């Protein structure tokens, strides 16, 4: 009888040890996953707006790009011509998000009608010749614009 009580106690201790090890392993993995997810979200906060701007500015010349302040918001303005009509695309940050507003040139601007692209904390543009500097939070990214032909 004493042997079976000792064996049962040993088995319970092993089971308890297994439960504690499993708990600590799961807690460690959950913390690791949470840190990985947070890191990825921080990277996306910079990469998504940058990739959007890079794609949107592909093939644009410095003559078609300007920085303008509209309704107390700094906007990157891209001018394009489709057929006989000229359009402007305004890209700006508002209320923690990156927005785009496409409108016909010369129309009154209301930034409230822009389409949300992604989350962005802070956005600032600098345009020097054919180089656009984009400041997203504490990161600075450069986009080279296409040189004007002829």
**Within a domain: 78:** yes
Q: What local confidence, expressed as pLDDT, does residue 89 receive?
A: 93
Q: What local confidence, expressed as pLDDT, does residue 148 receive?
A: 63
Question: What is the C-alpha to C-alpha distance for residues 126 and 24, in angstroms, rounded to an integer?
Answer: 50
Within the chain, how many helices (H) and strands (E) appear?
A: 1, 8
User: How many Cβ atoms are within 10 Å of 26's Cβ, its own excluded?
Assistant: 10
CB burial string 63-88: b at 16+ within 10 A, e below: ebbeeeeeeebebbbbeeeeeeeeeb
Q: What local confidence, expressed as pLDDT, does residue 78 receive?
A: 93
**Within a domain: 10:** no
Q: What local confidence, expressed as pLDDT, does residue 42 receive?
A: 73
**Within a domain: 105:** yes
Question: What is the C-alpha to C-alpha distance for residues 50 and 56, in angstroms, rounded to an integer?
Answer: 10
Domains: count for the chain: 1
Tens place of pLDDT for every residue, the chain, 150 residues? 566 888 888 899 999 999 999 999 999 999 999 998 888 877 766 778 888 888 888 888 888 899 999 998 999 999 998 889 999 999 999 988 999 999 998 888 899 999 999 888 788 899 988 888 888 888 888 888 877 665
Tokens 């319970």 — which residue?
A: 12
**Within a domain: 30:** no
Q: What local confidence, expressed as pLDDT, does residue 149 receive?
A: 65
Give 113-130 pLDDT, tens digit per residue: 999 998 887 888 999 888
Q: What local confidence, expressed as pLDDT, does residue 63 receive?
A: 87
| 103: containing domain | 47-144
**Within a domain: 2:** no
Question: What is the C-alpha to C-alpha distance for residues 76 and 88, in angstroms, rounded to an integer?
Answer: 10
**Within a domain: 96:** yes
Question: What is the C-alpha to C-alpha distance for residues 30 and 21, in angstroms, rounded to an integer?
Answer: 14
**Within a domain: 1:** no
Chain centroid to CA 69: 22
**Within a domain: 69:** yes
pTM for the whole structure = 0.71
């Amino acid at each position: 009888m004493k042997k079976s009580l000792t064996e049962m106690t040993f088995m319970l201790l092993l089971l308890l040890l297994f439960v504690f090890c499993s708990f600590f392993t799961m807690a460690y993995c959950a913390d690791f996953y949470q840190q990985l997810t947070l890191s990825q979200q921080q990277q996306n906060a910079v990469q998504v707006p940058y990739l959007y701007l890079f794609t949107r500015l592909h093939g644009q010349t410095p003559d078609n790009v300007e920085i303008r302040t509209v309704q107390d918001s700094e906007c990157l303005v891209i001018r394009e011509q489709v057929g006989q009509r000229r359009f402007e695309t305004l890209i700006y940050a508002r209320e923690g998000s990156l927005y785009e507003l496409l409108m016909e040139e010369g129309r009154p601007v209301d930034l409230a009608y822009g389409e949300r692209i992604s989350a962005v904390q802070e956005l600032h543009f600098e345009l020097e010749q054919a180089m656009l500097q984009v400041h997203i939070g504490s990161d600075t990214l450069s986009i080279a614009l296409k040189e004007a032909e002829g």
